[in-house]
Amino acid sequence: MHKKIVRLTVSDVRFPTSLEQHGSDAMHTDPDYSVAYVVIETDQGMHGYGLTFTVGRGTEIVVCAVEALSALVVGKSLEEIVSDFRGFYRLLTSDGQMRWIGPEKGVIQLATAAVLNAVWDLWARSEGKPLWKLLVEMDPRKLISCIDFRYITDALTEQEALDILVKAQTGKQQRVDQMLKEGYPAYTTSCAWLGYSDQLLKQLCTDALNDGWTKFKVKVGADLEDDIRRCSLIRQMIGPHNTLMIDANQRWDVGEAITWVTRLAEYKPLWIEEPTSPDDILGHAAISKALAPLGIGVATGEQCHNRVMFKQFLQASALQFVQIDSCRLGSVNENLAVLLMAHKFKVPVCPHAGGVGLCELVQHLILFDYISVSASLDNRMCEFVDHLHQHFRSPVVIQNAHYMPPKDPGYSCEMLESSVQTHQYPQGQVWKNLQ
């Protein structure tokens, strides 16, 4: 029986996180964590939920873009879409008029992600499986047929991608069982946002250590003396054997990044994240080369806007950790392309998460990566931020600093209706109360 999509609605949902400096970093000093939240409905009353993450102002622009894409989705059946998902992806990203305002970047790509996340959610629900399981159990040829290889065949051909997936069939069931038992390793960013006081930072660090966390990320980049004090403090708190990462959120120019991070090298960070412009592939390559002798890698990706950019970061050895984002790239389709390229170039994937719902979504992708692509946990971990999960129908489950595989059907995107209602911007009660 065909499931025809008859309605798409989109909401501007914002959380006033800036009031307490949650999420603050060197470039985003006052974020109000937000989503453009999409619900699609079939003629049989089935729903798919999707979202893309934003940080406040500008969410209305993404909402406007989702509305523009809506005409390409409503009227299609799920079966029609997934029987040629590559074609449907191309339809959304290469519309003869709308691609001008991208292409495949910025607002229009964020909107594409929100819409396609809802389609993937609907697909997984219609199969009665959590998304990671839908992917893991899907025939490799079918998976490949979801990927748009345009502009990446010089780095990865369809045949190479297929070979990777076929090879990783070996031992798959063992890895599924392992994940169900142990979960996927995570690190925490919740302890050290830039706007937090030293006292709060100490307290949160102590709590996290007690909860079993062993990997910690610190925001840096606004003031060097501050950074030295904060890194020193955290390294003291966590001891020499736990892992420290630092994140500058694009604050520096290339030369400045090298100088600054060199000053922080004594605190032994595993990586420096987003040292400079997310568009600067050659800049990241120069920074990678300069920091390699210090044992510090470069991580980036949360604002890497498509597979063509990730392709080049890999080709240029410009990163040592690939940070995919479930809502910046064009949904699962484009993330599959990046996971496969990262595997070919032997670079570990450590997803970006946090925000609103990013943990809920990306856990599915990284489970698939381990089970069906990389078959390795070396140097791999998924970001975790303990924030806003209470607004989701199926929130992440963390046990002993590991993501436990979701069990509910779908892509874990569904928000509580009450949360959506009260946080709608500007008419929701939360925002009315703040006026």
Instruction: CB nearer to its own copies: give 97 or 427.
Output: 97
Taking the complex as a whole, how short is the minimal distance between the CB of residue 428 and its own copies, in angstroms?
18
From 221, 269, 283, 297, residue interacting with its own copies (rule: CB under 8 A): 283
Q: Which of 219, 284, 311, 387 is catalytic?
A: 219
228 binds its own copies (CB under 8 A): no
Piece of 103-111, 122-130, 226-234, 415-423 that binds its own copies (CB under 8 A): 103-111
Residue of 152, 80, 68 whose CA lies nearest to 112: 68
Tokens 């879409």 belong to: 81
Output the CA torsion sign for 95, 97, 98, 101.
positive
Is the Cβ of residue 254 or residue 430 nearer to its own copies in the bound state?
Answer: 254
Q: Is residue 360 close enough to count as binding its own copies by CB under 8 A?
A: no
Distance in Å, CB of 283 to its own copies, minimum:
6
Residues 6+ apart with CB under 8 A from 334: 89, 147, 148, 306, 307
Task: Compute the least distance from the CB of residue 23 to its own copies, in Å.
Answer: 11
Query: Which of 117, 250, 300, 363 touches its own copies by CB under 8 A?
Result: 250
Residue 301 binds its own copies (CB under 8 A): no
3-state secondary structure the chain: CCCEEEEEEEEEEECCHHHHCCCCCCCCCCCCCEEEEEEEEECCCCEEEEEEEECCCCHHHHHHHHHHHHCCCCCCEHHHHHHCHHHHHHHHHCCCCHHHHCCCCHHHHHHHHHHHHHHHHHHHHHCCCEHHHHHHHCCHHHHHCCCCCCCCCCCCCHHHHHHHHHHCCCCHHHHHHHHHHHCEEEEECCCCCCCCCHHHHHHHHHHHHHCCCCEEEEECCCCHHHHHHHHHHHHHHHCCCCEEEEECCCCCCHHHHHHHHHHCHHHCEEEEECCCCCCCHHHHHHHHHHHHHHCCEEEECCCCCCHHHHHHHHHCCCCCEECCCCCCCCHHHHHHHHHHHHHHCCCCECCCCCCCCHHHHHHHHHHHHHHHHHCCCCCCCEEECCCCHHHECCCCEEECCEEECCCCCECCCCECHHHHHHHECCCCHHHHHHC
Query: Least distance (Å) from its own copies to the CB of residue 319?
Result: 14
Task: Name which position in 6, 82, 228, 254 contacts its own copies (CB under 8 A).
Answer: 254
Binding mask 144-163 for its own copies (x = CB under 8 A): ------xxxxx---------
Task: Name which of 153 and 206 has its Cβ closer to its own copies.
Answer: 153
C-beta of 247 vs 414, nearer to its own copies: 247
Binding of residue 234 to its own copies (CB under 8 A)? no
Quick check: is 352 catalytic? yes
Pick one of 107, 179, 350, 382: the residue that binds its own copies (CB under 8 A). Answer: 107
Select 105 or 343, whichever has its Cβ closest to its own copies.
105
Nearer to its own copies, 36 or 118 (CB): 36
**Shortest gap between Cβ of 326 and its own copies (angstroms)?**
15
Q: Is 315 in the site for its own copies (CB under 8 A)?
A: yes
- In the set 105, 352, 364, 387, the catalytic residue is 352
Is residue 308 involved in binding its own copies (CB under 8 A)? Answer: yes
Could you confirm whether 284 is annotated as catalytic?
Answer: no
Q: Identify whether the C-beta of residue 294 lies closer than 8 Å to the C-beta of residue 272.
A: no
Tell me the window of 90-98, 229-237, 238-246, 357-365 that interacts with its own copies (CB under 8 A): 90-98
- Could you give phi then psi for residue 420, rounded to 5 degrees? -60, -45
Q: At residue 428, what is the residue type? A: G
Q: Does 100 bind its own copies (CB under 8 A)?
A: yes
Number of residues interacting with its own copies: please give it, by CB under 8 A.
61
In whole angstroms, the minimum distance from the beta carbon of 386 to its own copies comes to 21
Residues 8-67 that bind its own copies (CB under 8 A): 27-32, 54-58, 60-62, 64-65
Residue ranges binding its own copies (CB under 8 A): 27-32, 54-58, 60-62, 64-65, 68, 94-110, 150-154, 250, 253-255, 276-283, 286, 303, 305-306, 308-309, 311-312, 315-316
Residues with active-site annotation? 219, 352
